[in-house]
Structure 1
Amino acid sequence: MLIAVGLGPGDPELLTIKAARLLREADAVFVPGEMAYDLVAPYRSDAVTLDFPMTHDEVFIERCMEENADRIAPAALSGTAVFGIIGDPNFFSTFSRLTAILQRKHPEIVCETVPGISSITAFSSVAQIPISSSFSVSDGSKEEVAIRLKVRRPQEMADQLRRDGYTEFALIERMYMDGMSVFTGNDLPEESSYFSVLYARK
């Protein structure tokens, strides 16, 4: 098994309790660079640092991804491997590309993620700017994903988004709470809890 663990925005005290536990319990820990290594060092001094180059050379990036996947695979096949990554492993991270390679070469490896505090939410604390209205996040490229919070009528919201070209949907109701439910595709309930998040992709 391979578990990607979010290490937060850079402050070692912003790791979650779950992240700290998994780092201590893992059979092997991998990190993508010195900053991540410094964050996991209090829990695992034997973490293996992998090279993930910052470049636009896609051929070189893909080769490094393949090499890193090959280094992680034995540990993930024989036990539990943890990959510690700055921020959150599902937001603008290299983990999705890495798992795609692992799933292609070793489909028997189960890959999971544990959220971390991302820069998207951390910046408001640093800047002392509370966010209490809708906002958009982009890296400058074309926006293909929409996330809606507090979705009380998921079917109705999905119908509205379809008119704007969105075709893939997922609804998480009562996330990490008792009674959590996950709905995907067109199988969305007519009504849902106040604690609901709707994901849509074009």
Structure 2
Amino acid sequence: MTVYGIGLGPGDPSLLTLRGKDLLEAVSTVYTPGRLSRAVVSEHVSDDRLGSLSFPMTRDPETLRTAWKDAADSIAPQARREDVAFVTLGDPNVYSTFGHLRRTLEAFHPEIDVEVVPGVSAVTAFTSALGIELTSTTGLTLCEAANGPIPTTVPQLLLFKLLDVPTVHEQLSAANYDVLYGRRLFMESGPTVVTDDPTELADRDYYTLAFARKRSFESSPATAAFSETHEVADG
């Protein structure tokens, strides 16, 4: 049988895809990795079909490996008999807990099929909420400041899952970027914040994104507009 990794989108239950909704209604059990994903999926799935899995927020590799193995072992017996789902905010293949579960299932339970159902990612939710158009000059990076330097060679950057906004802002400002931040966009839990002031986001919050543009960068995207002197030929 199959474990479906279903992306729930950025936090608004109405942004779930039709494919995701159909599968949530069809599978026997829907597993959630945390409180926020459970709150979103509860809009579509009754409590008696929900199961919980624990994924600790830690960088300790042994603790993480144990948690991933325990989660895979919990799902496997039922997934051998019937289809189940694991839900995650955003998209399952974009910096998601589901990636760890999928790799662990493949390693220890290769007889179980795994299928990914895409969701609206934090990247596209962020750009939609703030009216930002990503052009071919934009670089995309999954950034947590503690993990090393931010790439600063492209005209525009989109960064997400920022845990240390003041440090990120200092690095980007030194590299001549202007930065706009968004936090908990499309989410019902916690305050939604849009700001260019890093002091408003000094507390750590996993659901924080940033769009950075070089101060010297100028862009003129193509449009269908004609200049005032353009003449349209007859016929």
Q: When the two structures are superposed, what TM-score results if normalisation uses the length of structure 2?
A: 0.58
| Unmatched 5+ stretches in structure 1 | 144-202
| Aligned counterparts of 1:30 and 1:107: Cα–Cα separation in 2 | 19
Q: What amino acid does structure 2 have at the position aligned with 1:85? A: T
- Secondary structure at the aligned position of 2:106 is classed as helix
Deviation at 1:54?
Answer: 1.1
Aligned pair partner of 1:78 in 73, 77, 81: 81
Deviation at 1:134?
Answer: 3.1
Equivalence for 2:134: 131
Question: 8 Å contact 2:16–2:119 — kept in the other structure?
Answer: yes
Equivalence for 1:42: 43
Question: 8 Å contact 1:76–1:109 — kept in the other structure?
Answer: yes
Question: 8 Å contact 2:30–2:50 — kept in the other structure?
Answer: yes
Structure with greater Cα Rg: 2
| Aligned counterparts of 1:13 and 1:92: Cα–Cα separation in 2 | 22
**Identity over aligned pairs, percent:** 37
Equivalence for 1:107: 110
Q: What amino acid does structure 2 have at the position aligned with 1:3? A: Y
Q: When the two structures are superposed, what TM-score results if normalisation uses the length of structure 1?
A: 0.67
| Aligned counterparts of 2:65 and 2:102: Cα–Cα separation in 1 | 12
Deviation at 1:133?
Answer: 3.3
Runs of 4+ in structure 1 over 3 Å off? 140-143
Taking the TM superposition and a 5 Å limit, the aligned residue runs for 1:10-29 are 10-29=11-30
Q: How many residue pairs are counted as aligned between the two chains?
A: 143
| Aligned counterparts of 2:129 and 2:66: Cα–Cα separation in 1 | 37
- Secondary structure at the aligned position of 1:137 is classed as strand
Taking the TM superposition and a 5 Å limit, the aligned residue runs for 1:176-195 are none
Deviation at 1:42?
Answer: 2.1
Taking the TM superposition and a 5 Å limit, the aligned residue runs for 1:146-185 are none
Q: Choose 94-103 or 116-125, whichever is displaced more.
A: 94-103
Q: What amino acid does structure 1 have at the position aligned with 2:110? A: P
Question: 8 Å contact 1:34–1:49 — kept in the other structure?
Answer: no
Deviation at 1:107?
Answer: 1.0
Deviation at 1:130?
Answer: 2.2
Question: 8 Å contact 2:13–2:43 — kept in the other structure?
Answer: no
- Secondary structure at the aligned position of 1:89 is classed as coil
1:10-48 CA-partner distances (Å, limit 9, x unpaired): 111111111111111101110110111111112222211
| Aligned counterparts of 1:34 and 1:76: Cα–Cα separation in 2 | 23
Taking the TM superposition and a 5 Å limit, the aligned residue runs for 1:58-77 are 58-77=61-80
Question: 8 Å contact 1:5–1:89 — kept in the other structure?
Answer: yes
Q: What amino acid does structure 1 have at the position aligned with 2:65? A: E
Equivalence for 1:196: none
